[in-house]
Amino acid sequence: MIRLIVGLGNPGPEHALQRHNAGFWWVDQIAQREGLALRAERGFFGDVARLRGPHGDVWLLEPGTYMNRSGQAVAALARFYKIAPEHILVAHDELDLPPGQIKLKLAGGHAGHNGLRDIAAQIGTPQFWRLRIGIGHPGDRDAVVGFVLGRPPRSELERIEQAMQRGLDELPRLLRGEFEAAMMHLHRGNVPPAAPAKESPK
């Protein structure tokens, strides 16, 4: 079962609406739905809330470090509460999925995502769950940094929000450890990427 849910992002109002903060957005939605307030915890290097559930406490965490040091917060809280890596779920932005898609997986590489890279390094293993929130790709490797630190247009944001809502709908299954069922429902509901606009004939 999941005992720690981590949302990845960069702290500060200047980053709040950037694609790279999609993990924060999802954890904020959980907190809002459950009537919880994330509060700064210096010992855990981030903002924390406790969700009391039928299967025990589940911690919500938004690291207060920048993205490339996310593992500091995750490792501190996981060590304190003795949470094994396979009981951790990390929600993050995913370049390899278009807006409107969301996928769940256990372990794997970091695909250049600095938050995932640091978490794996700090807890000593990549064997944690990931909720991959599609934000799309700019199409040019050199444009990635500016893209993830940019704001999605309204049309993309609506698709991202729809995908995150489906992630929220699967939260009860995740908290019960029903990962295969959650995966099936999430992946089956993924919308196809938006078709590129056709050029008008000249």
Residues annotated as catalytic are 20
* Maximal C-alpha separation, the chain: 65
Check whether 21 is labelled as a binding-site residue. no
Please enumerate in sequence order all residues whose Cβ is within 8 A of that of 93, keeping only pairs 6 or more positions apart, or say none.
Answer: 8, 19, 20, 21, 22, 23, 113, 133, 135, 148
Tokens of 141: 């490797």
- Dihedral sign (CA 20, 119, 132, 55): negative
d(CA 126, CA 141): 24
Check whether 110 is labelled as a binding-site residue. no
Check whether 92 is labelled as a binding-site residue. no
Extract the annotated binding site: 15, 66, 68, 114
User: Annotated binding residues for tRNA, as ranges?
Assistant: 15, 66, 68, 114
